[in-house]
Structure 1
């Protein structure tokens, strides 16, 4: 790990990664309780006079994992893939997926089946999705605001959609004087 306290003294901004909680196995990307633990941990490590240098890295994407495989998949069958709002909306529509909101993680999830056949081998993958939408981004922005840190950084630019930008603008408007 890094000595955030020592680093903070020598930098203008200290970006903390609060995403990729689940990578190898299906699960939430940045569950709210874990994000709070990340914030609390860095604020304990960084002297108070440098808290205004801390920037919380938050996700605007998700992952799509295979969880169950029946059959012998072709070599080029997808493993874990990234999803963003543009690809997600299309996937939900094509597969008739019913997303489920999880208030405790501040994320969405869903499952669906994918049939893969290359003419030589075939399989059916049960796939699990986890992602953060604009409301989830807003929840994490509010956590950063309550912590009194500098702000947030999205990972990664280009993954977000207009809803995320609109949520960020609405959230930032709270800090503007009338």
Structure 2
């Protein structure tokens, strides 16, 4: 099997730590994927770009795949439904994306639409077809897609995303193979879960078009239940130290975990570190994928950069 060239892509949210890490590692990143352009109900874009990050990217000749997302509106599913199912609005959005890429000189776009209603699958495909026809090959067209274990058009979160069709209407699919557990405690992305996601993905998507979405954060749950809070790697380590907790590496999940008690309440933490990152990076090589897309810069164990240098061919 011919070895696929592997890319090291990083998602970016405009935080102080992310900017610090960007300055440190811009020369090691193949594409920056910044969360900068929200959609509006008219099909226009809200520019949330960070001038300092743009300056660093340009100084390092770092290509930008600008994220176009629907987090700009609290009614995410209603907004994206209207944009995707109304032909005139769909056309407006394609025009807006093209104008943004041309005026900013970006390398391409990453479509990151969440909570797309499952019945809107044909409309999402139609939007991506319009976008791909308009932009390719001048710009790279990529899309972030939820992790799927099987074809299920009715799935409430991932049903709208047809891997096979989207693979023909995009240059790459960034498969977000994390958040395996969210409403209940458990690994952010166990190695078995990621393997099952990839086992299905390679039946629908050419391997060179797959970028494995990798997490570098953690979650802190109250054992009794409820939504977790997100932790960076550094926050997870500091929390364990604060409460004298023993961090254990779960060999089956290939991820780190610990428990602690605060104010009489038991907490359960699972988080990604260099060791768990390395285990998943091995899958990228094993499955001969097109690379990685890491959520997100500024949250990572600093040692992951050593892992990337050792295991992934970078720019």
Q: 1:14 aligns with which of 162, 173, 182?
A: 173
CA distance in 1, matches of 2:193, 2:199: 10
CA distance in 1, matches of 2:254, 2:179: 14
CA distance in 1, matches of 2:197, 2:221: 25
- Residues 36-60 of structure 1 show CA distances to partners (whole Å, capped at 9, x for unaligned) of 00001111122xxx32011010111
Q: 1:113 aligns with which of 240, 252, 261?
A: 261
- Residues 113-151 of structure 1 show CA distances to partners (whole Å, capped at 9, x for unaligned) of 011xxxxxxxx2100000111111111111011111101
Q: Is the aligned partner of 1:58 residue 2:214?
A: yes
- Asked whether the equivalents of residues 185 and 268 of structure 2 are also in contact (C-alpha less than 8 Å), the reply is yes
The aligned residue for residue 166 of structure 1 is 306
Larger proportion of strand: 1
- Asked whether the equivalents of residues 106 and 132 of structure 1 are also in contact (C-alpha less than 8 Å), the reply is no
User: Residue 29 of structure 1: CA displacement?
Assistant: 0.8
User: Residue 161 of structure 1: CA displacement?
Assistant: 2.8
Aligned pair count? 156
User: Residue 165 of structure 1: CA displacement?
Assistant: 1.4
The aligned residue for residue 241 of structure 2 is 93
Mark the CA change 1:79 to 1:17 in structure 2 (over 3 Å): closer, same or farther: closer
CA distance in 2, matches of 1:68, 1:12: 43
TM-score normalised by structure 1 residue count: 0.82
Q: Is the aligned partner of 1:32 residue 2:188?
A: no
TM-score normalised by structure 2 residue count: 0.47
SS at match of 1:157: coil
> CA RMSD, aligned part only?
1.9
Runs ≥4 in structure 1, deviation > 6 angstroms?
none
CA distance in 2, matches of 1:36, 1:152: 14
- Asked whether the equivalents of residues 233 and 272 of structure 2 are also in contact (C-alpha less than 8 Å), the reply is no
SS at match of 2:303: helix
CA distance in 2, matches of 1:88, 1:33: 23
